[in-house]
Amino acid sequence: NAGVTQTPKFQVLKTGQSMTLQCAQDMNHEYMSWYRQDPGMGLRLIHYSVGAGITDQGEVPNGYNVSRSTTEDFPLRLLSAAPSQTSVYFCASRVGLRTYNSPLHFGNGTRLTVT
Amino acid sequence: DAKTTQPNSMESNEEEPVHLPCNHSTISGTDYIHWYRQLPSQGPEYVIHGLTSNVNNRMASLAIAEDRKSSTLILHRATLRDAAVYYCIFLNAGGTSYGKLTFGQGTILTVHP
């Protein structure tokens, strides 16, 4: 099992460019989520999904879009990058929304810089 | 949403026990307490979780107060590899935050050789 795989590891964008951060998991987890981590602010939830075709907003959703066409993949799209989106992004998955005894599995992150 | 309060930082010596506290006075009866840790340049890693009873696993122990308003993560013998940021968080099992994990600032643990 590869677990949760994020690509790319690093990315530099210019303001206004768009890109997609990829996240894939091979554990057949229903629940997937995206977090961003900024210095001194812990991890903040951007969007999450409880299954294919179902997504919802987290704490800081503005500027980001998500979709969930398959159980395995949960890409995060930045349509017009801004310097405020410079951050480290983590994708995480869990068995399901109601599986309280199951841990979150995190990827190793994508470090994004917007200039 | 329920919030957790942790000390910003703690220090320990190698091979000594470490007790990492967490206050969660607004926890509800259905909220699970989870602990994660994050090593430098890595994603968070699950450590342990519990609801009401104390829990043990190969990594650590979790002691939950009887009123559930606080908990303590116990590393029985700290190693240099345990130096990380430790997060105490809720898994909300009800309400508007149903099923979502909310991370706080965490505690930076430094382990001295």
Q: What is the pLDDT of residues A41-85, one digit of tens each?
A: 778 889 999 999 999 998 899 999 999 999 999 999 999 999 999
The confidence band for B10, taking pLDDT boundaries of 50, 70 and 90, is very high
Q: How many interface pairs between A and B have CB atoms less than 8 angstroms apart?
A: 56
Contacts of B93 in chain A (CB under 8 A): 98, 100
- Structure token digits, residue B107: 């505690």
Residues making up chain B, counted from first to last? 113
Percentage, residues of chain A above pLDDT 70: 98
Contacts of A97 in chain B (CB under 8 A): 98-99
* Closest CA relative to residue B45, chosen from A4, A86, A85: A4
- The mean per-residue pLDDT over the stretch B75-104 comes to 79
The confidence band for A89, taking pLDDT boundaries of 50, 70 and 90, is very high
pLDDT recorded at residue A32: 93
d(Cα B71, Cα B31) in Å, to the nearest integer?
Answer: 13
Query: Long-range contacts: B101-105, Cβ < 8 Å, 24+?
Result: B101/A45, B101/A104, B101/B34, B102/A45, B102/A59, B102/B1, B102/B2, B102/B3, B103/A35, B103/A42, B103/A43, B103/A44, B103/B36, B103/B44, B104/A42, B104/B3, B104/B4, B104/B5, B104/B6, B105/A40, B105/A41, B105/A42, B105/B6, B105/B8
A42 touches chain B (CB under 8 A): yes
The DSSP symbol for A59 reads S
pLDDT tens-digit readout, B20-73: 999 988 887 778 889 999 998 899 999 999 989 899 999 899 999 999 999 999
- Does residue B110 carry a pLDDT above 90? yes
Contacts of A44 in chain B (CB under 8 A): 103
pLDDT tens-digit readout, A5-23: 999 999 999 999 999 999 9
Q: Shortest CB distance from B46 goes to which of A35, A42, A104? A: A104
pLDDT recorded at residue B103: 76
| Placement of tokens 């009887």 in the chain | B66
* Closest CA relative to residue A93, chosen from A40, A51, A53: A51
The confidence band for B98, taking pLDDT boundaries of 50, 70 and 90, is low
**Which residue did the predictor score with more confidence, A98 or B23?**
B23
pLDDT recorded at residue B93: 58
* Closest CA relative to residue B87, chosen from B6, B1, B3: B6
* Closest CA relative to residue A85, chosen from A24, A32, A44, A57: A44
